[in-house]
Structure 1
Amino acid sequence: MVNTMEPRYMIPTRRHITDVAVPGIYEEVKISVKTSLASAERVALTCDAWTSRATESYVTITSHHISEEWELVSHVLQTRVMHESHTGSNIAELLKTAMEEWDITGKDPAIVTDNASNMNIAAQLAGIPHVKCFAHTINLASQRALKLPSVARLLGRVRRIASFFRRSTTASHVLRQKQKLLQLPEHKLMIDVVTRWNSAFDMLQRFLEQQPAICAALLSGEVRKTEKEVCTLSEADITSAEEIVSALKPMKVATLVMSEESSPTISVVAPLHAQLIHDLQESSSDSTMTKEMKSAICLDFSKRYLDDEQKEILYMASAIDPRFKALPFLSEDKRQDIYVRVIAEAARSQQRETDADIVPLPNVEDIPVQEDISAGPSKRPRDSFTLADLLGQTYGGAVRPSHKKNTHDQAEEEMTRYKEAAPMSLAGANPLDWWKQHQSEYPLLSHLAKRYLCIPGTSVSSERVFSTAGDIITTQRSALSPEHVDEILFLNKNFKMK
C-alpha cells in the first residue's frame, strides 16, 4: 500500500526504529524533563522495585514537583535493571546516580517508598529525608486483621463460592438469570488477591451485594446438591461478612484518597492516621471478631511513623495545608511547636534565597575619584545665613528609616494571619489552587508550601508504572533489552511534554 502511495518512500526498518528513532526521541524528551526539574523549588522522589515477565528485576524512580503555575508535575525518570541484590547500599548508590544524572541533588530531594527495611537503609545512606508510603502502611495493617483465624476462615468460604460461580458455566448462567429477576447489577463475583487487602474487601462487598441472587441460584434445581452444600453460608457468616466490610470501610476510603495523584497527599497522612486510630477504637456494641480486627489494625498502626524526621515532615505538610492548618490531632504544646518550626523554616528558606541573589558590590575605596573638569574652578561661597543654620542640627540630617522587619518577623506575621483565615473546605478542594490565589498574601509561607506539598504520601505513582510495564513487556516481547524497556516506559509517561 505504501509503495503504491509513494514508491520513493523507504519504510523504516526495525533496526532504525530501535537504534535511531526511539533513542533520538528519548534524548529530546529527557532535555524537556530536565528543564522542568530545573525550575522546581524542590523535587520529591518515589522508588519501588518490580520483576518483569522475563524475570528481570527493575527499580523505577519517579519525580514530583510543583510548577510556577502551582500545578503538581510528575515524571517517570528511569526504570533501570538491577542485577545486584536489593540491599540498602546498592539501592542507595542507584539513587545517588539517578539524582546526579537528573541534576536534582541540589533540589533538597525527599523520597517516598514502602516500609521495607532496605528502603529505609537506602534513604539513610543516600542522605535524603524518607517518608513511608501510607497506602502500604494501610495494606500492612489491614492484612494483619485479615489473617485473624475467624476472618480468614470466612474469607475462604466466600472465595470458594466466588470460584465456583466463575468456574461453572451453568452456575454462572443461573446467577445472571437471578440477577435480572431480582433487578440486581449484573456483576461477576470477585476473587481476592493475597497481596492486596482491598481485593478481599471488594470480594466481600460484591458477595453481599449479590447474596440474594447467589442464594436463589443455589436453591434452583440446576445446581448440584454437592455444590449447594459446599457453597451454602449460614446467617451468622453473612452477618460476620457485613461486620468485616463495616470495620474495613474507613481503610478503603483512606486508600482511595491517598491514591489521588493530581493533588497533594502528604498533608493528608497525619490527619488520616490519627482519624483511623480514633475510628477503630473498640465500642461496647462491637462483636468479638470486630474488636479483634480493630485491635490488630490499631496495634500495627501504632508501630508506624515513630521516626521524628518523618513525623516532622508530615506535621509540617499538614500545617501548611489550608485544610488541616488547625492541627486538631495534636496536643496544644505540639501544635505550637510545629507552628514555630514552620515560621523558622520559612524565614531560613527566604534568607537562603536572598543570600543566593546578593551580588557583591565593589569596595568604595577601590573606585577612583574623577574630578569634574567641565564645572570649572570652584567658587568660594558667599557668607549667608539661612534656615539651615538655625534648624540644621535638628532637622538637617538624613531621615532615619523605620525599623525594617526581618524575615523571621515577617514569617511570624504571615503565620498569624494564615491561622486566623478561614480554613479551606474539604469537598473537592485542591490546596494548590488556594495557594495560587493567596501567594502574594503569604509570600514566605507559599514558598514553604511548594517545598512540602510536592512530596506524595504514597509510592502509588511508581507502582502504576508496573501496570504499564506489564502491557509493554508481554510474552511476545519478553526479549526487550533493559535499555529499551527504560526508554519506552519513559516515553510512555513523559512524551506529552515534547
Structure 2
Amino acid sequence: MKVATLVMSEESTPTVSVVAPLHAQLIHDLQESPTDSTMTKEIKSAICLDLNKRYLYDEEKDVLYVASTMDPRFKALPFLSEDKRQDIYEKVIAEAAKSQRETGVETGKTDADVVPDQGPVQEDISAGPSKRPRVSFTLADLLGQTYGAVRPSHMKTTHDQAKEEMTRYKEAAPMPLAVANPLDWWKQHQSEYPLLSHLAKRYLCIPGTSVSSERVFSTAGDIITAQRSALSPGHVDQILFLNKNLKIK
C-alpha cells in the first residue's frame, strides 16, 4: 500500500492508465495467506472490501481499461479475462476509427489526394495561327460515369486500418516499467500507429489522482502571504506556472 501510494503521488508521470493494473495487483496481493495472523487477515479483508467497492460502474471500468490498453506497459491486460480483454481491444479499434473520421487524422493517401481526370487536354489557340483544336476521346469519356466511380472492394476502411494498427501494436515489445512516461513512447511511434497514437494522447493525459491539483493550491498558499498581499491574480498565475514548469538545471 505504501509503494502504491508513493507511485500514484508522483506529480509528473501518473496517468489514469496505472489505476486498473495497480487496483488489480493490490487485490491480488492482499489475499489471505495461511501464515497470516488473525489481525492481519482482518486488515487484509477490510482493505480488499474497500477496494472492491471502487469503480463499480462499467463505464468507469471501460475508461480505465482502454487507458491501460493505450499504455505500452500494460497493453497485454493480464488482469482481465480473455473475453473481456478482446472486448476492450474491439472498443479501442472502434474508437480509434471513429476518432479518425471526426478529427481527420492523417493516415496516408486518401481518395481526396487523388487528382481527378480533367479530360482530354486541348491545344492553346491563343497564340500562333488559328487552328481548329484537335480533340481526342478516350474510354473514360464513354464509360467513366459508369465504372469510374466504382470503389475497389479491396480498399481498406478506417476500421481495417485501426485493426491492423492494433495487431501490430499488440505484437510489439512492451515498454519497460522503468520508463515512466508512456507519452514519450507514443511520440516516437506515432508515425507507425497514427490512429492509435491520437487515441493514446486523449486518454494518457488524464491524471490518475488529484495530488497535482492539490499541490498547486498548497503552492499558492505559500506564495500569497501577508507580505505579498498586493500580488495581482495574473502575477500569481504566472508564478505558479513557472514554479510547476520551469526546470532549473
Give me the TM-score of the superposition, normalised by structure 1: 0.40
Aligned residues: 220
Gaps of 5+ in 2: 117-121
- Choose 1 or 2 for highest CA Rg: 1
Secondary structure of the equivalent of 1:451? helix
Q: Which residue of 2 aligns with 1:377?
A: 132
Q: Which residue of 1 aligns with 2:240?
A: 493
Gaps of 5+ in 1: 1-250, 365-369, 382-387
Matched, 1:329 2:75: no
Matched, 1:407 2:158: yes
Q: Which residue of 1 aligns with 2:119?
A: none
Displacement, 1:434?
A: 1.5
1:276 to 4, 22, 26: 26
Q: Which residue of 2 aligns with 1:445?
A: 196
Matched, 1:301 2:48: no
Does the C-alpha gap of structure 1 residues 427 and 336 become closer, same or farther in structure 2, counting only changes over 3 Å? same
Displacement, 1:489?
A: 3.8
Q: State the distance in 1 between where 2:223 and 2:104 align.
A: 47
Does the C-alpha gap of structure 1 residues 473 and 380 become closer, same or farther in structure 2, counting only changes over 3 Å? closer
2:193 maps to a residue whose letter is Y
Does the C-alpha gap of structure 1 residues 468 and 416 become closer, same or farther in structure 2, counting only changes over 3 Å? same
Matched, 1:424 2:171: no
Q: Which residue of 2 aligns with 1:254?
A: 4
Q: Deviations over 1:456-481 (max 9, x none)?
A: 1001111102321331344x359x48
Q: Deviations over 1:420-463 (max 9, x none)?
A: 11111112442122212211111111111100000010011111
Does the C-alpha gap of structure 1 residues 427 and 333 become closer, same or farther in structure 2, counting only changes over 3 Å? same
Percentage identity across paired residues of the two chains: 70
Q: State the distance in 2 between where 1:438 and 1:307 align.
A: 33
Q: Deviations over 1:195-229 (max 9, x none)?
A: xxxxxxxxxxxxxxxxxxxxxxxxxxxxxxxxxxx
Displacement, 1:255?
A: 1.1
Displacement, 1:373?
A: 4.1
- Is the CA contact 1:347–1:408 (under 8 Å) kept in the aligned structure 2? yes
Matched, 1:343 2:98: no
Q: Within 5 A, what are the aligned runs for 1:222-261?
A: 251-261=1-11
Q: State the distance in 2 between where 1:379 and 1:473 align.
A: 83
Matched, 1:466 2:217: yes
Does the C-alpha gap of structure 1 residues 401 and 348 become closer, same or farther in structure 2, counting only changes over 3 Å? closer
Q: State the distance in 1 between where 2:105 and 2:72 align.
A: 29
Q: State the distance in 1 between where 2:75 and 2:134 align.
A: 69
Does the C-alpha gap of structure 1 residues 379 and 269 become closer, same or farther in structure 2, counting only changes over 3 Å? closer
1:336 maps to a residue whose letter is Q
Q: Which residue of 2 aligns with 1:319?
A: 69
Q: State the distance in 1 between where 2:206 and 2:97 align.
A: 21
Secondary structure of the equivalent of 2:170? helix
- Is the CA contact 2:65–2:88 (under 8 Å) kept in the aligned structure 1? yes
Q: Deviations over 1:137-169 (max 9, x none)?
A: xxxxxxxxxxxxxxxxxxxxxxxxxxxxxxxxx
- Is the CA contact 2:8–2:14 (under 8 Å) kept in the aligned structure 1? no
* Cα RMSD, aligned residues only: 3.3
- Is the CA contact 1:266–1:456 (under 8 Å) kept in the aligned structure 2? yes
Matched, 1:265 2:15: yes
Q: State the distance in 2 between where 1:491 and 1:462 align.
A: 16
Q: Which residue of 2 aligns with 1:354?
A: 104
- Is the CA contact 2:125–2:133 (under 8 Å) kept in the aligned structure 1? no
Q: State the distance in 2 between where 1:262 and 1:328 align.
A: 26
Secondary structure of the equivalent of 1:456? coil
User: Which is richer in strand?
Assistant: 1
- Is the CA contact 1:266–1:453 (under 8 Å) kept in the aligned structure 2? yes
Q: Deviations over 1:354-402 (max 9, x none)?
A: 299x9x9xxx9xxxxx995436214699xxxxxx9xxxx9xxx98x886
Q: State the distance in 2 between where 1:344 and 1:285 align.
A: 47
